[in-house]
Structure 1
Amino acid sequence: MLLRTKLFGTTYEFATLTELLAKANEQKSGDEQAGIAAGTVAERVAARHVLAEVPLWVLRENPVVPYDDDEVTRAIDDAVNETIYAEIKNWTVGELREWILSNHTTSDMIRRVSNALTGEMVAAVTKLMSTLDLVLGGRKIRVVTHCNNTMGLAGTLASRNQPNHPTDSVDGIRASTYEGLSFGSGDSVIGINPSDDTPGSVGRLLQMTKDVIDRWEIPTQNCVLAHVTTQMECLRKGDPAGLIFQSLAGSQKAMESFGVSVGLMDEAHALAKKYCWTPGPNYMYFETGQGSALSADANFGADQLVLEARIYSLAKRWDPYQVNTVVGFIGPEYLYDAKQIMRAGLEDHFMGKLTGIQMGCDVCYTNHAKADQNDLEALEVLFASAGGSFIMGVPMGDDAMLSYQSSAYHDIASLRQALELRPLPEFECWMEELGLWRNGKLTDKAGDASFFLSR
């Protein structure tokens, strides 16, 4: 296929679809580092003009990593619904964009078509979207999941209670958990990033958080975000895990850099269904982030947006309860400043929803990025407006263990109030029973962790 156009008297030609996709991407420092970004704004516009005319079947038949060479590509392609694909394969990328944004296209219609899309298709249409397009497109797609409570219903915004501690102190983590709960953070999950990845330490944290959930009859789930093999060992020895976590990547080589494979994740999913204490049917929690494949030298010349979209297509295999992009965590080498971080957060949310999975966002940045707390809060508002499912809750927004800046416990309270959103329904009822929530708002008891020590 000839990938060429003439723009303002200059002819632009792209040698491969991988090159075309990369040069159609919004400016990202990671793509520039890889030497694959458009050299000028005009070249980026020309690439998008060409990309808009590419049929979807061309993208399926030319994945950025060949089918025979990569198990991620195989897992994605083998899952395509051939009946639905036959209906849409001759659509161009531009036609897919217009269809998604049409007033006549419903969430159910998009969810059906998502079963015929590959990561390359999802990334391609995302590159043609403006910021407002991403908000509108993401908001109209509804994905509902259930573990111990229900995620994704209209009018709700959840929060992961993330009480990390630099030494995995059980008492310190419990205190932070109570603080988060008092603000209404924790309906997504009580999820801890451990500093010690051993089964013994992870098991202690799982037991403590399960004790808190049982003691207060909290409609949520627990998770310790250790490597999946550690969590699998904990499950086998009887430790109480509500969700099983793993970071994923968009190519087999990048997955291997994380110490995982499709087969291993199949095994983990089967164990979760067998041993997690939660009723399900969704048991998995995945995290992603643009730039992970490039950081592992495993991007195969593809841009970071395409590799990110491929993660979502892979994650769908395990029917996750929740997925979130840790959007600014990898650093300015991949997303240089607040503008790039904001764009990536909205792209990732839209791509995940278009793929058919539940999407949240760790609205965050590292301390050497060109961003600040006001930028973080602006993305929170955009993300919530786009129908995002959940954000993080970190004490004062400053993670003491991971040393990065994220959304605070009190941010979820402010967003719910500003945008008239509610906690997940089961969690809202629980907060009302405890007197932390009345008539759609926090009560005067909220925000005081000692509430949980005085009863």
Structure 2
Amino acid sequence: MAVHHQRVGGTTYTFRGPVELLAKATPRRSGDELAGCAAHSDAERAAAQWALAELSLSDLLADPVVPYETDEVTRLIIDTHDRAAFGRVAHLTVGGLRDWLLEVAAGPGAAATLAAVAPGLTPEMVAAVSKIMRNQDLIMVSKVASVVSAFRTTIGSPGTLATRLQPNHPTDDPRGIAAAVLDGLLLGCGDAVIGVNPATDSPAVTADLLRLLDDVRQRFDIPMQACVLAHVTTTLGLIEAGAPVDLVFQSIAGTEGANAGFGVTLSLLREAAEAARALDRGTVGGNVMYFETGQGSALSAGAHLGTDGKPVDQQTLEARAYAVARALDPLLVNTVVGFIGPEYLYDGRQIVRAGLEDHFCGKLLGLPMGVDVCYTNHAEADADDMDTLLTLLAAAGVAFVITVPGADDVMLGYQSLSFHDALYARRALGLRPAPEFAAWLDRLGMLDETGGIRAVAPLSSPLRALGAR
């Protein structure tokens, strides 16, 4: 085990191994304090960041935070690592990688350069470099990274901001869900996915909701994909039964134990991806998986321990979840950044920082990364914090955000973004919906000359027929 010493303000701090070094270098968050791995002071955190900046990327590759022998996520990371792509940065330290990323971001051909090196980066590398970057650094690099995926719409193209329309209902009432779908569509949302969190995991209810959404799609000729966020095994059964499945959803995490808590393995996820691809329901692409993640999920499952039984910080484990997603070539990945609660991200400041970190790490690893800009009602956060995070993420080129009626999810009981929030971000930063969806809105006369939604759309759109069902 490598031991790192760093002197700050007359005190020498010692960090034993990368697990401890990464944890203590992490910007302050309540989840790491709960796990007992956080720095005890700002001085110790600064010393850890200094020492981390001097650590070589090759050392991080050789010493993963969770042992290879005991964890299939680690085996995935190591066994699929692209040594040729890594060659471009293999000589760098973590601090050197930060400098290189900022230099690339400021020069020509940044997107191609970052895409070429992505297969050579591991989650530990991108988590490490994010810990020594300011918010503006995270935004700058994320902005120039380009990751595009497609099914019936194209997600992640430069200059676009897509949305998941989330029409949840506490009793899965089809009429309530249809009303929320209508509300979102009339405000230009739903181009990433119309995705329902079912109140139960009933296969029959899930099938009914899938048929409802598919009927809306076909009746109004909408270029969109639908998803009912049931467990992957439920969706696999519905594929076999002939239900209209577009995307397969699953929550994932960064350790084998945490994924076991979700009831999944890598082999099960591969089976689901193959089954969905075989349906061949896409029109402009074949990305069929939708994953959600969130800092603190491994800790909440008691599956956050790494080498020598030491707790791994939640942000590094979050980045490892992106390795699972990357292996399955998804259409969509989003972190539900403030959803798990203040035990893991205490306040607005921690949520904002975590959202920027997650977006940066996912995009740098090659994922079409979105964020559920959200908080629970018992967190020290409010809508102003979410306005800040939404604006920063939109400036950073986030692929999509989640939107719900009135920003208040009445089924899940948390605060996210409203449909109007997405309109604000698009207009303020000159962003457009996914191109296929924008063309559909334009055919209905719903887009104005700036690419925004016309104020009269609810009165003039043929979609009003949906509200009469």
**TM-score, normalization: structure 2?**
0.95
Partner of 1:125: 129
Kindly report which structure 2 residues correspond to 1:146-185, keeping only aligned pairs within 5 A, or say none.
146-185=150-189
Distance verdict in 2 for CA 1:308–1:350, change over 3 Å: same
Q: Does 1:361 align with 2:371?
A: yes
Moved over 4 A (4+): 447-451
Q: Following the alignment from structure 1 to structure 2, what is the Cα–Cα distance between the partners of residues 97 and 447?
A: 47
Out of 312, 323, 333, which is 1:302 matched to?
312
* C-alpha contact 1:358 1:389 (8 A) present in aligned 2: yes
Local SS of the residue matching 2:357: helix
- C-alpha displacement of 1:87: 3.9
Partner of 1:17: 18
The AA in structure 1 aligned to 2:452 is: K
The AA in structure 1 aligned to 2:8 is: L
Out of 314, 317, 340, which is 1:330 matched to?
340
Moved more, 72-81 or 248-257: 72-81
Kindly report which structure 2 residues correspond to 1:314-393, keeping only aligned pairs within 5 A, or say none.
314-393=324-403
Local SS of the residue matching 2:6: strand
Partner of 1:66: 67
* C-alpha contact 2:445 2:461 (8 A) present in aligned 1: no
**TM-score, normalization: structure 1?**
0.98
* C-alpha contact 1:235 1:276 (8 A) present in aligned 2: no
Partner of 2:456: 445
Local SS of the residue matching 1:345: helix
Kindly report which structure 2 residues correspond to 1:380-419, keeping only aligned pairs within 5 A, or say none.
380-419=390-429
Out of 298, 301, 306, which is 1:293 matched to?
298
Partner of 1:231: 235
Q: Following the alignment from structure 2 to structure 1, what is the Cα–Cα distance between the partners of residues 239 and 208?
A: 12
What stretches of structure 2 of length at least 5 have no aligned partner?
A: 306-310
Q: Following the alignment from structure 1 to structure 2, what is the Cα–Cα distance between the partners of residues 416 and 244?
A: 28
The AA in structure 2 aligned to 1:172 is: G
* C-alpha contact 1:247 1:287 (8 A) present in aligned 2: yes
- C-alpha displacement of 1:44: 0.5
* C-alpha contact 2:150 2:287 (8 A) present in aligned 1: yes
Q: Following the alignment from structure 1 to structure 2, what is the Cα–Cα distance between the partners of residues 253 and 454?
A: 48
- C-alpha displacement of 1:441: 2.2
Q: In the TM superposition, what whole-angstrom CA distance separates every residue of 1:365-396 from its partner, at most 9, and x where no partner exists?
A: 00100011111111111110111111111000
Q: Following the alignment from structure 1 to structure 2, what is the Cα–Cα distance between the partners of residues 189 and 271?
A: 19
Partner of 1:241: 245
Q: Does 1:430 align with 2:440?
A: yes
Q: Following the alignment from structure 2 to structure 1, what is the Cα–Cα distance between the partners of residues 120 and 195?
A: 33
- C-alpha displacement of 1:438: 2.2
Local SS of the residue matching 1:159: strand
The AA in structure 2 aligned to 1:221 is: Q
* C-alpha contact 1:362 1:391 (8 A) present in aligned 2: yes
How many percent of aligned residue pairs carry the same amino acid?
49
Distance verdict in 2 for CA 1:408–1:2, change over 3 Å: same
Q: Does 1:136 align with 2:140?
A: yes
- C-alpha displacement of 1:405: 0.4
Distance verdict in 2 for CA 1:302–1:40, change over 3 Å: same
Local SS of the residue matching 2:7: strand
Q: Following the alignment from structure 2 to structure 1, what is the Cα–Cα distance between the partners of residues 303 and 193?
A: 31
The AA in structure 2 aligned to 1:90 is: H
Q: Following the alignment from structure 1 to structure 2, what is the Cα–Cα distance between the partners of residues 242 and 338?
A: 35
Partner of 1:189: 193
Local SS of the residue matching 1:115: helix
Q: Following the alignment from structure 2 to structure 1, what is the Cα–Cα distance between the partners of residues 353 and 38?
A: 16
Partner of 1:258: 262
Local SS of the residue matching 1:435: coil
* C-alpha contact 1:161 1:189 (8 A) present in aligned 2: yes
* C-alpha contact 1:178 1:449 (8 A) present in aligned 2: no
Local SS of the residue matching 1:364: coil
* C-alpha contact 2:126 2:361 (8 A) present in aligned 1: yes
Q: In the TM superposition, what whole-angstrom CA distance separates every residue of 1:318-360 from its partner, at most 9, and x where no partner exists?
A: 0011100100000000000000000000000000000000011
- C-alpha displacement of 1:181: 0.2
Local SS of the residue matching 1:318: coil
* C-alpha contact 2:352 2:389 (8 A) present in aligned 1: yes
Q: Following the alignment from structure 1 to structure 2, what is the Cα–Cα distance between the partners of residues 91 and 173?
A: 51
Q: Following the alignment from structure 2 to structure 1, what is the Cα–Cα distance between the partners of residues 36 and 462?
A: 54
Q: Following the alignment from structure 2 to structure 1, what is the Cα–Cα distance between the partners of residues 176 and 372?
A: 22
The alignment of Structure 1 onto Structure 2 pairs a total of residues equal to 455
Kindly report which structure 2 residues correspond to 1:15-94, keeping only aligned pairs within 5 A, or say none.
15-94=16-95
Q: Following the alignment from structure 1 to structure 2, what is the Cα–Cα distance between the partners of residues 450 and 326?
A: 32
Local SS of the residue matching 2:415: coil
* C-alpha contact 1:175 1:449 (8 A) present in aligned 2: no
RMSD of the alignment, in Å?
1.3
Local SS of the residue matching 2:120: coil
What stretches of structure 1 of length at least 5 have no aligned partner?
A: none
Q: Following the alignment from structure 1 to structure 2, what is the Cα–Cα distance between the partners of residues 278 and 236?
A: 18
